[in-house]
Structure 1
């Protein structure tokens, strides 16, 4: 410890304290800024970051100095570093919109100020350093204080411009992009990521913080969990849905040590990723067929699916005829899934899921075998092509399981097909709407049974 200074916790600070020494872990680091001094026209710099020294106590810090000094400080210290702050000036936080809008929310009513020639900041390396390092995995908000992604999507533009906390799993990290600032044409870097949780499997976010962009190089899809405190929610006109962006208010906690994060990681490891897998997951696990009562024609389904509204998925009840069902032809109607992770196997019956213990190996146990049919549904307004009919719903509709089907002769398969073909049915469907990444809607059957003539006559819409 430096001579003449007094070590104090963040919770013990006050503006009348001088020669203080604070030991804490750096949990958030903003991009530095440079400007020309009005006093002497020299280039100056400012840098803001956030510290924590307990599960509760956090404080914001501002560093002032020459441009060279600030750039050097910025490059030397990173989030996760445990540091000593020596002789800072301590002041009350300013109760203005600038402090609220551009700095992370912290527990301390005070702010620390470091000056190039009167304060110091060093890496801390004493025996208790591991205690501070563990704090990097503690969110700055209560572990349960976050919005589900489905709620963000559901609220839609009503939440545009609002701030929210999100607990998400990384699904995909895209390439870094270089862009020009709209305000002053400065060069900026950004990165788009796709995240998910148990309620919504594809949500887009934008990272602007250089430190976080660098750290995102090491984020692993399905495995890395992030608690985003105070991200800004935005409406994306191109995608027709809500997105989020991080700014100087945002604090990113990687792999938080909370029950909620553990549950999400366990879910993400086996969650469906491909659009067809997502559709099958919702169809077989989350949809109550009895709740599907909105009667539509095929034309209404397509209009809604292509509308690019905020609704990424919807259900409908159709009265339609099955006009295509290839049970006795050359089309592949059976799929094999890994017995460990349930992901589809390739042509050699090997698992391609990099997170599965069987990846790259043939599934020598008992791969899951199921129906994977494509059917067409037609009514007086048009046709829905390539609708998915998969197990276990396919087993119910066909009246037989995969094992029995595989033992059938061609004639028996043809007879099974004509039991359903050209039959007017009451069909409940789940639809994944189009998006920039998915130019065609995906449609899956939830139930299918012969329709009653009375229902067709009284309920089938004209349009």
Structure 2
């Protein structure tokens, strides 16, 4: 039943009360100025908050100093569930480009001595940056202001704000809604709640004006649509996508532009200058979608089916180093199986589980109900493998290597039902056919997140190296 989950995969505690009932920010006992207290007469303000959005640096000629170039960029700062503000930084090319590289999305930063001004009534200005609820905006000047990563002890207090949507929790389109609406919402900005199915590599394109730009396609899905293309055009969002894993991240996307792609003949979406993306938002609908995404991934290895495995061969040490650097990698590995618990008949859950026959989601033993809130197929279940093993090579050992659905049956040479009927001696004999043997594995290694979480290696294929 929904509501029993205590945290997201990255270990962040669910903060439903914070997002739904509290409008106050964090106490500013250390001299901080809350965004809610800003006014035109505030001087020497110091703000601390989490970076929700960040735009690319723009350059222009300095009218006061002909021949010199000036630059600016805008980011959006949040210090409570309901308060966030746009901050534009101005200065020389060197200063602005260096400042832009000093922090990224979801970092906590400190802003000192910004200039407070009333937002313009010009509707065109609002097209080029995220919409904010207050009446003010901030400017940071190279000579009078400062922006830096926050070094306080209470960084964790701000982490919850990365999971609270900035709009009404129910103010979004499902992917099915977008496809159904079609031309009626073509070229419009909408909010989207969807799960990540696949993150494509970054690609570079050349615009008609000859400018080089990076972009990145992300395949989304939900209970209504199994595949929907979302394209990122912002370098900071492109970098943020490195932390997204198939079926592990639910995205609340604010102000995505939807359009009919004439080449693909389907509706697609893309990020713009107003777009804000929150991962694993703490809402009821997001929790339900997360459970649905988990059931889809566990049941059929969807993340493996939609992930292109690279041709590169890694050692276990290289895989672990990549995951320590928060990199999600794919590739091949040659290693020995050093541990796999398939011969404990007293504990069937060590390698077997039951799944819903309708959606293939996991169900709680002994029979239980399907945990997928979108499933309408009843409570009929079937037995399936839920197998993990330890792999080792000369560089080290790696636990939590999960064989996805279908992979275990092919490798063991039997169905889950046949395996469940085997006695302990038969299972032990089967295990010793491959224990300590060299195997060739294709994998997707998923790193932990910044706070908690366990790294996992998901095995897309496995076979004995001698075969």
Q: TM-score with structure 2 length normalisation? A: 0.59
- Alignment of 1:246 with 2:271, yes or no, is yes
Distance 2:286 2:406 in 1: 18
Q: Secondary structure at the match of 2:127?
A: helix
Q: Secondary structure at the match of 1:261?
A: helix
Specify whether residues 235 and 73 from structure 1 end up closer, same or farther in structure 2 by C-alpha distance, changes over 3 A only: same
Partner of 1:268: 293
How far is the alpha carbon of 1:73 from its aligned partner? 0.7
Greater Cα offset, 121-130 or 106-115: 121-130
Q: Secondary structure at the match of 1:94?
A: coil
Aligned 8 A contact 1:338 1:363 in 2: no
- Alignment of 1:211 with 2:233, yes or no, is no
Once the two structures are superposed, what CA deviation does each residue of 1:173-225 show, in whole Å capped at 9, x if it has no partner? 1121111223x321100011110011111111110010111121221111111
Partner of 1:21: 46
Aligned 8 A contact 2:197 2:247 in 1: yes
How far is the alpha carbon of 1:338 from its aligned partner? 3.7
- Alignment of 1:167 with 2:193, yes or no, is yes
How far is the alpha carbon of 1:354 from its aligned partner? 7.6
Aligned 8 A contact 1:338 1:367 in 2: no
Distance 2:150 2:77 in 1: 13
Distance 1:83 1:243 in 2: 34
Tell me how large the CA RMSD over aligned residues is: 3.3
Distance 2:160 2:139 in 1: 25
How far is the alpha carbon of 1:339 from its aligned partner? 5.1
Partner of 1:103: 129
2:256 pairs, out of 211, 222, 231, with: 231
Q: TM-score with structure 1 length normalisation? A: 0.60
Aligned 8 A contact 2:163 2:279 in 1: yes
Aligned 8 A contact 1:50 1:59 in 2: yes
Aligned 8 A contact 2:163 2:278 in 1: yes
Once the two structures are superposed, what CA deviation does each residue of 1:73-103 show, in whole Å capped at 9, x if it has no partner? 1100111221111111111111222322111
Aligned 8 A contact 1:339 1:367 in 2: no
Aligned length: 302
Specify whether residues 180 and 12 from structure 1 end up closer, same or farther in structure 2 by C-alpha distance, changes over 3 A only: same
Q: Secondary structure at the match of 1:101?
A: helix
- Alignment of 1:366 with 2:391, yes or no, is no
Once the two structures are superposed, what CA deviation does each residue of 1:379-430 show, in whole Å capped at 9, x if it has no partner? xxxxxxxxxxxxxxxxxxxxxxxxxxxxxxxxxxxxxxxxxxxxxxxxxxxx
Gaps of at least 5 residues in structure 1 are 278-282, 286-335, 342-350, 369-463
> Any runs of at least 4 consecutive aligned residues in structure 1 with deviations exceeding 3 A, and if so which?
336-341, 354-365
Greater Cα offset, 215-224 or 352-361: 352-361
Distance 2:406 2:50 in 1: 32
Point out the structure with max Rg over C-alpha. Answer: 1
Once the two structures are superposed, what CA deviation does each residue of 1:294-348 show, in whole Å capped at 9, x if it has no partner? xxxxxxxxxxxxxxxxxxxxxxxxxxxxxxxxxxxxxxxxxx984559xxxxxxx
How far is the alpha carbon of 1:134 from its aligned partner? 2.1
Gaps of at least 5 residues in structure 2 are 1-29, 306-356, 360-381, 388-401, 420-467
How far is the alpha carbon of 1:133 from its aligned partner? 2.3
- Alignment of 1:11 with 2:62, yes or no, is no
Matches within 5 A, 1:109-148: 109-148=135-174
Specify whether residues 365 and 157 from structure 1 end up closer, same or farther in structure 2 by C-alpha distance, changes over 3 A only: same
